[in-house]
Structure 1
């Protein structure tokens, strides 16, 4: 199967992947009971051929740029830089400190709304206060956090 895909112009790795995908498809979705003259080899070949056609269509839509080893080294790493990690940790410490400075009820309302994903009405009901008061507590917490955490 992989050899026929290679003859169709696929490199050996892609041909091997498509062959594996074809086997998975054939095993997971065999032809129905109505197929009296079922030929498993032809069915597998057809599945591999269709996967190859779909692969070529996707390849035609995606623009790729070949990179040599030197260029590949200079590609940006998606992981955050050490400076960004330290900065994020500092912001987290500042946020934690700012939350601890809030009055208990304000902090509780903020945490229920922001971290607990509760609506303002749910926060108000659980704390036994009006929705207007719940919103003002949450708003005060936001204001305190914005003023306390140094974000550029």
Structure 2
């Protein structure tokens, strides 16, 4: 990006930043306003740096990009069902503090899980350990154990069911 483009971009940020914030503040969730403004200027930076095309009317261009981003953002939020999500407030209290009783319960649960894992059939135990403790993908496990990916999936699902049952029985 040449010096003229950088200078123009700096001027436009200074000139259009407050207006873009107001534009998005009326149309988007308050937590998303700064991200959307940043996306507009990132798009402008990319456009100026890559295309080399001169923007003759920056105000129209910037607000057209803003409108398009808002449409895309709205579609994305609708797909994620954002309206059904609750945001955490800053005065969020942790209801359960760590107590000696909770520590003992946690240790007992860990022992129960380890006992259940050790009680798994060898192939299921191996697949489970590869996946949960070594972070291997199903494909990597399948190649290492020389079995199909579907077999790995079944082994891990059975292992999870047995571990879950063991925890439920202990409770």
TM-score of the two chains, using structure 1 as the length reference? 0.43
TM-score of the two chains, using structure 2 as the length reference? 0.40
The structure that has the greater radius of gyration is 1
